Amino acid sequence: MQQGRTTWSAAVRQGAGAGAIRAVLAALRQLLLAERHRWALWAPVLMGLGVLLYMVPPDDPPSGWTGIALLVLAAATIAALRALYARQTAVATLACLLAALPAGYLVAVWRTAQVDTISLARPLTLEVEGRVVAIEGRARGHRLTLDQVAVLDRQLATVPQRIRIGVAKGAELLAAGDRIRVRARLEAPQPPALPGSYDWARDAWFQGLGAVGWSLGAPTLIAAGAGESGPALFVERIRTALSHRIASTTPGAAGAVAAALVTGQRGAVDNRVWEDMQRSGLAHLISISGLHFTLVASVVFFLARWCLSLCPPLCLRLPAQKGAALAAILGCALYLVISGASVPAQRSFVTATIVFTAVLVDRDPISLRLLAVAAAAVLLVAPHSLLGPSFQLTFAAMVGLIALFEALSARRAQTPAAPGGPTRRMLAYLGGIVLTTVIATIATAPFGAWHFGVVATWGVAANMLAVPITSFVVMPAAVLGTALLPLGLDQPAFMVMGAGVALVLWIAAEIAAWPHASFAIPGMTGGCIALIVLGGLWLAIWQRPWRLLGLPPVLLGLGMAVLGQPPRLFVAPDAQVVAVLAEDGRLLRTPGKLDGRVAEAWRTRTGASGRLARWPDAAPGRPGCDPFGCTLELAGHRVAVLTGPGDAGDDCRHADLVLDLVAERRCPLPTRSIGRSALRAARGLEARLEPEGILLATLSAARGDRPWSRSTHPQPRIPDPTDDADP
């Protein structure tokens, strides 16, 4: 009897549980149906996820995955077409969402297959001949990009067809199209210094750039390129001349930044200016992005509409609003060409074009739907840009601002604002600047912390001061000066632009000098950013109260980033220097030659500031450095670094981890030891010293065996005494 009652109670509880599940599913179905007009906004999100599934793994995915993706894409496309034919809009949207993920994966596969960049396997000193296709001024000298490269002093089976070299002198009179000969020290584009860092070598590979380096002397002009024609060379000559014109009008740092805002050539911008802009939160004003295209398009749009309104016969045949939108699209296209058509510029152009196309067809130009189309278009053209900071920062800011605009528009529709005078409108404008700056700063801060390790404390104040100057002085003067350049009347406009840029740089320098101008968040990881992105998209895309379910993932990601601990030990890619993060927050390093790029990456990852300090000398009973190596006790672990010959027995007996920078000395178990060859093969190593053990991560394992991480070995080759010794 008791057993029967127990069975009946269990059945009741099971039925109640099943009923609760059905109720939850029914409520979820009602919420989804209520917001089915927002389903399509998840398409670029799923497309980006497909790109990540191909680009992120350390090894090439099996070829069978491509076939599966093709089948899923085909099935989803057929289902979407059938649903559209049957006028089942919701089913068609779901089928398109199902197709978005394999579509992103296949786009990444196709784009990678189109690239055949040849990269050098190791540093070489070569005498090369090539055609100059780009000239960019630098703080010292110039930077040249060459194609049609030929190696003169040795035979290589494979030669990079596009290289970039820095020239200290002798490039002042060169022009795009010139063919030159130069002796240069070349190497493959630098990979990241640490696992998980931004991989510039991957972007260089997709751009076809096979080697970078510096010249060992002035280049020799072989043939002038004045007779060579072609759109690319013509545009490059215009960009170079325009950069020189702007820089000569406003000399100094302001002229270099002004030229960068128009032509996209940022090599002449001083490192100190970059540091001030980053610490003040104004670095986005130097990099050509959506803000600059928006300002250029706005200036052209309002000027064109004003000019069209002055001609009544034309206004009767072509509405001034639509004529101005066409002019804005053409202005953005011209700006895209002059600025060098970089990936961020292409993305911004696509976005601006879609916005003004919406004006042409009488649609709302500011909506997440148009932004979703822009994101999908960018992923179709350059799927690898998804992994770069520019894509992430730009779209994060735009998603946040448009979500804010939609929320304010809905509120304004319910309670229309009362009309006000000029003072009220001015206050509303200032409030708008503050609000949009705060939202953009909040939206981009996690990505800034992930890529650069810091967040600008006073970014809101800096943007409140600098953005109006950029909007109403710098960019309008840039548009006007460029338009007047063929008439020779550009100098006053460029002088005004230079004065505005100088004021922005002054603001950046002053705010960067404020106390606690930036603070480090070294605990930001890929898992943290994934939680923040998913939660942020949930908040931005949905419109009903259930959107607040996106807050917990965002808060969890932020909490993990703030409370997370950075790695405590680092080994340089060449296995010559080891650094540790001491308890007092300083980075201590062993003696040896260290690349400044690697040191900066270590500081970014740990949040440490200032120069790396020398590992203190050993004292009786205290760990430190002696002629044979260095030891340190950290987080309950003892680490030994062997930097000289000698017996490692004492270190093996007392240390938990032994790193040998000079030989292959091994320690008996349980002591963990890593020799020089393994450290060099790691191409960079970081370790987290946890209470439960030492967790190691290597750059070679993180990058894996992908097309952009492989180098083409030059064979055969003639030995050159100036080359470094083989590893």
pLDDT of residue 110: 93
Q: How far is CA 647 from the centre of its chain?
A: 46
pLDDT of 12: 43
Q: How many beta carbons lie within 10 A of that of residue 634, not counting itself? A: 17
Confidence check: pLDDT of 54 > 90: yes
Asked whether residue 16 carries a pLDDT value surpassing 60, the answer given is: no
Q: Find where tokens 């952009």 sit.
A: 708
Strands 162-167 and 142-151: antiparallel
| DSSP strand pairing (162-167 vs 211-215) | parallel
Res 715: pLDDT:
35
User: Taking residues 155-173, what's their average pLDDT?
Assistant: 84
- Nearest Cα residue to 284 out of 405, 459, 123: 459
User: Which residues have C-beta within 8 Å of that of residue 617, sequence separation ≥ 6?
Assistant: 624, 625, 626
Q: So what's the pLDDT on residue 711?
A: 60
| Side-chain half-sphere exposure of 226, counting CA atoms within 13 A | 3
CA distances from residue 91 to 42, 83, 373, 512 in whole angstroms, order as listed:
15, 6, 20, 53
Cα atoms found within 13 Å of the Cα of residue 225, Cβ hemisphere only:
23
The pTM (predicted TM-score) of the whole model is 0.83
Predicted pLDDT at 11: 46
608 to 389, 578, 595: CA distances (angstroms): 21, 15, 17
Can you tell me the mean pLDDT for 495-512?
91
- The answer on pLDDT for 607 being more than 90 is no
The structure tokens listed for 470 are 């950029």
Per-residue model confidence (pLDDT) at position 383:
92
Range 644-661 burial, b when 16+ CB lie within 10 A, else e: eebebeebbeebbbbbbb
Neighbouring C-alpha atoms within 13 Å toward the C-beta of 19? 6
Within the chain, how many helices (H) and strands (E) appear?
24, 19
Give the residue from 190, 137, 194 showing the smallest Cα distance to 166: 137
453 residue type, one letter = G
The chain-wide mean pLDDT, for the chain, equals 82
The mean pLDDT of 280-304, rounded to a whole number, is: 82
pLDDT at 10 over 70: no
pLDDT of residue 532: 94
**Selected residue with higher pLDDT from 463 and 185:** 185
More confident residue, 103 or 517: 103
pLDDT at 295: 82
Has residue 433 got a pLDDT over 60?
A: yes
47: pLDDT confidence band, cut at 50, 70 and 90? very high
Q: For the segment 59-117, what is each residue's pLDDT rounded down to a tens digit?
A: 888 888 888 888 888 888 888 888 878 777 778 888 888 889 999 999 999 999 999 88
pLDDT given at position 227: 53
> Which pLDDT value is given to residue 445?
85
* Among 281-295, 500-514, 618-632, 680-694, the range of highest mean pLDDT: 500-514
Residue 248: how many other CB atoms lie within 10 Å = 12
Which range among 168-177, 208-217, 617-626 shows the weakest confidence by mean pLDDT?
617-626
| Mean pLDDT of all residues in 533-547 | 91
Q: Does the pLDDT value for residue 583 go beyond 70?
A: yes
Residue 622 is predicted with a pLDDT of 61
Question: Which residues make Cβ contacts (< 8 Å) with residue 92, sequence separation at least 6?
Answer: 79, 80, 83, 84
- Average pLDDT for 424-438: 74
Out of 26-35, 391-400, 528-537, 715-724, least confident range: 715-724
User: Which whole number is the average pLDDT over 566-575?
Assistant: 88
- Predicted confidence at residue 229, as pLDDT, reads 66
Instruction: Write the CA distances from 56 to 124, 331, 530, integer angstroms.
Output: 30, 37, 13
pLDDT for residue 420 = 60
| pLDDT band at residue 121 using 50, 70 and 90 as cut-offs | confident
Axis crossing angle, helix 422-452 with helix 526-541, rounded to the nearest 10: 150
Predicted local confidence at residue 2, as pLDDT: 46
User: Dihedral of CA 679/682/686/691: which sign?
Assistant: negative
Q: At what angle do helices 491-512 and 231-249 cross, to 10 degrees?
A: 70
pLDDT (tens digit per residue) in 345-374: 777 788 788 888 888 877 767 788 888 888
CA distance 335 to 559: 41
Structure tokens at 481: 């000066």
pLDDT of res. 505: 92
SS (H, E, C) 228-273: CCCHHHHHHHHHHHHHHHHHHHCCCHHHHHHHHHHHCCCCCCCHHH
Q: For 305-337, give the secondary structure using H, E and C.
A: HHHHHCCHHHHHHCCHHHHHHHHHHHHHHHHHH
Cα–Cα distances in angstroms (integers) from residue 137 to residues 3, 143, 144, 184, in the given order: 88, 6, 9, 18
Residue with the larger pLDDT of the pair 17 and 649: 649
Average pLDDT over residues 639-658: 80
pLDDT above 70 coverage of the chain, percent:
91
pLDDT on residue 146: 92
